[in-house]
């Protein structure tokens, strides 16, 4: 088993039993990818069987709205990349693209999910992934509704400073739901 798989397995089995046998079973459907900046993992409107885990690097997700890119989230080290849409046979709503040269784990969710019905450890492992994802989505919604643009930016500065160092402001602006001009003006204060 590749040692690079460990952070992923550990991250989602903190309070769960995960035997060596089960780990091995999961690892069959994992693989390491080394990809360059601008590489596209998932294309808008296409179907995909994979989710990804960021070992090193940065990924962004966006969709096109009237020809303009709307960035929806960014993933850095130890974050997951993917969308539940993809694992329910719907085409992806978003394009997911590398912002930096990155090392990722590709996870064949389509093949792992059926194992949930027969292996209780895998069921709990997958559940941990989805639950963390749902919590992330709840946070995202609360964050976007509850705050005005300035406070959203300040929260980002406070909670995710790495994001501001590594992701262009143009992307950050559309993530915050404002134009890059407006973000530039907010920063001037």
Partner DNA sequence: GATTTCATTTGACATATATCACAAAATCAT
Partner DNA sequence: ATGATTTTGTGATATATGTCAAATGAAATC
Q: In this complex, which beta carbon is closest to DNA, that of residue 59 or of residue 183?
A: 183
CB atoms < 10 A from the CB of 168, how many?
Answer: 12
Choose the stretch contacting DNA; rule: CB under 7 A; options: 11-19, 42-50, 125-133, 179-187. 179-187
Among 150, 155, 156, 166, binds DNA (CB under 7 A): 150
Q: For 146-162, give the secondary structure using H, E and C.
A: HCCHHHHHHHHHHHCHH
Q: How far apart are CA 110 and CA 90, in angstroms?
A: 13
What number of chain residues touch a second copy (CB under 8 A)? 34
126 binds, among a second copy, DNA, none (CB under 5 to 8 A by kind): a second copy
The answer to whether 76 touches 159, Cβ cutoff 8 Å, is no
Does 161 contact DNA by CB under 7 A?
no
Does 182 contact DNA by CB under 7 A?
yes
Relative to beta strand 59-65, strand 50-56 is unpaired
* E-strand stretches of 19-110: 30-35, 40-42, 50-56, 59-65, 68-75, 80-81, 95-98, 102-108
Q: In this complex, which beta carbon is closest to a second copy, that of residue 55 or of residue 109?
A: 109
Q: Which residues bind DNA (CB under 7 A)?
A: 148-150, 168-170, 177-188
Q: Which residues bind a second copy (CB under 8 A)?
A: 16-17, 63, 65, 70, 72, 83-85, 88, 93, 116-120, 123-124, 126-127, 130-131, 133-135, 137-138, 140-142, 144-146, 177
């Amino acid at each position: 088993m590749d040692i690079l798989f460990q952070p992923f397995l550990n991250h989602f089995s903190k309070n769960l039993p995960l035997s060596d046998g089960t780990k091995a079973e999961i690892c069959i459907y994992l693989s390491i990818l080394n990809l360059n900046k601008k590489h596209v993992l998932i294309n808008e409107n296409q179907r995909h069987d994979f989710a990804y885990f960021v070992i090193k690097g940065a990924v962004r997700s966006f969709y096109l709205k009237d020809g303009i890119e709307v960035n929806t989230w960014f993933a850095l080290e130890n974050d997951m990349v993917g969308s539940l849409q993809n694992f329910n046979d719907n085409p992806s709503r978003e394009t997911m693209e590398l912002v930096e040269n990155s090392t990722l784990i590709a996870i064949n969710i389509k093949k792992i999910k059926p194992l949930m019905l027969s292996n209780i450890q895998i069921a709990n492992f997958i559940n941990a992934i989805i639950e963390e994802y749902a919590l992330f989505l709840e946070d995202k919604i609360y964050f976007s509704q509850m705050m005005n643009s300035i406070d959203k930016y300040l929260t980002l500065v406070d909670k995710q400073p790495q994001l501001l160092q590594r992701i262009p402001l143009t992307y950050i602006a559309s993530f915050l739901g404002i134009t890059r001009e407006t973000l530039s003006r907010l920063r001037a204060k």
